[in-house]
Amino acid sequence: MTVEGPLLGRATRIARVLAKHGLQDRRSDESTRERARRLRTALEELGPTFAKLGQVLSTRPDLLPPEVVEELASLQDRVQPLPEAEVVAVMEEELRVPWEDVFAEIDAEPLAAGTIAQVHAARLETGERVVVKVQRPTARDEIMRDLGLFRLFAEKAGDRPAFRDLLDLPLVVEHLSASLERELDFRQEAANIERVTRIVAPYRRLGVPRVHERLSTARLLVLDEIGGMPVREAPAGEARLEAARELLDAYYLQILGEGFFHADPHPGNLRWWEDRIWFLDFGMVGEVEPRVRALVLLVLLAFWREDAAFLGELLVILAGEDAPADVDMAALEDDLARFVARFRVGSLRDLQLGPMLEGLMEIGLQHGIRAPASLALAGKAFAQVQLTVAELDPTLDPFAVFNRRVVRGLVDQALSGLDPQRALYEAQKLRLRLTRLIDAFERVTGARPGPRLEVHFRGTQPLERRLDLLARRLALAGTTGAAIIASGVTAASSHAASWVPTTFGVVAGLFGALLLMDVLRRSR
């Protein structure tokens, strides 16, 4: 592959900077922290576009070691503000009319200036105060040029130890391309704003600025101006405490319910105004697919139950087809048990939900298990929200909020005679394990494509007796679980006679006892 013209000069410049910072070869006695620091300084020297690339990478703890994520998070895309004439030129090109036909005034001094855009305060002809996000005229060309060179660099240097030990370059390039393409189209950000607006509409202490759709395009975004103060400076009082609870609850809803969330809720993107928390900057959002949402719910419940063994199973299931076949489950469980023990606390100041998920993924990676990218982004968002909520209300119990949002919602505040959390948790745990057993059996018989399960028997019992034993225990376990769930549901119903849940409870107890007797008899 060849590079010609201006690209050649840029490529030469990149190579020179990387060599200057010693990133072409790995030093045998060098720590990951030191290599991460040199990578950050090289990206800063290469200019605003590469600084932006580093910022995007800092949101992916599943792709990079923690030391690299921490270093890249400190990158700043420092750029000179655009001259007023260039700002006006872009606005008029997008609006297709003179700016005076739309705006009564535009502040010449930008509120913020970055690699992709800069933001100005303005007032519409109607008198409404707004903020205008204007894309830099050269942003797309510069970013696409550097992305092309980054791909070329990944091809040439991706196998060098200095980079291979730090990150998976092809995966990084793929992620960067997708993220920056979305950020370059402000219509995508407008759609993100509208979607988050619908999600947080029920919360009276949360707000999202309104998009002026008539004035917004792919390179121009006009929003209502949000005044107020930084969220951490919110005055003490009932509104502040309510807002803290609603902010945490809204993130449970976004991530576990809707599967769509504001992915960069650091304090700079949250404002306190009119007794509400307002979300700003929707360029970065996350989406969690339904399968992962259901498993994350079980992960949180398993943490609450301190069930390290089941957490290990969930990590393997989350990895899906990418899960290694030779995971040492005993060692994984030991690592998880020690990790879970650190979170035996009751207040939000001590219990950090983001680090909890991030720590889980880090342990998984140590055992060759890579969690979905959406979970990594959700963990980072949870971590940022936790810091803000802890300052607003240090006494707030996150699992109390979780209980109201998820558990009670799922069982409709029912199961009055039982522990709803435990019943739901055990039922979901049983269902998941039965599903995995059925999947494995279908692969054995060839009913499902994929690698066949290898079964190694010890002892002299014939295969037929083994299968018969497995089928009997599955039937007993399935009947017991179904009876437990039926008992709970009918107990919560106002239409079922009192003897119905009792009968189901007796059936559950009977079949559970039969299963226990069978296990004890066979283990002798």
Helix, strand, coil content of the chain in percent (nearest 5): 60, 10, 30
Residues 477-488: b if buried by 16+ CB within 10 A, e if exposed: bebbbbbbbbbb
Exposed, middle or buried, 140 (CB in 10 Å: 0-12/13-18/19+)?
middle
> What residues contact residue 329 under an 8 Å CB cut-off, 6+ apart?
312, 313, 316
Active-site residue, selected from the candidate residues 77, 264, 307, 335: 264
Count of residues making up the chain: 524
Q: Catalytic: 334? A: no
Q: How far is CA 332 from CA 77, 306, 314, 432, 454, in A?
A: 40, 14, 11, 19, 22
Q: State how far the Cα of 376 lies from the Cα of 381, in Å rounded to an integer.
A: 9
Helix/strand/coil for 48: helix
Single-letter amino acid, residue 5? G
The answer to whether 104 touches 124, Cβ cutoff 8 Å, is yes
Q: Which helix (H) or strand (E) holds 316?
A: helix 308-319
Token digits for 262? 């504001």
**Residue 122 bridge partners (DSSP):** 106, 130
Residues contacting 325, CB < 8 A, separation 6+: 451
Question: Two tokens at 49?
Answer: 């576009």
In angstroms, rounded to a whole number, what is the distance separating the alpha carbons of residues 354 and 376? Answer: 9
Q: Which residues are catalytic?
A: 264
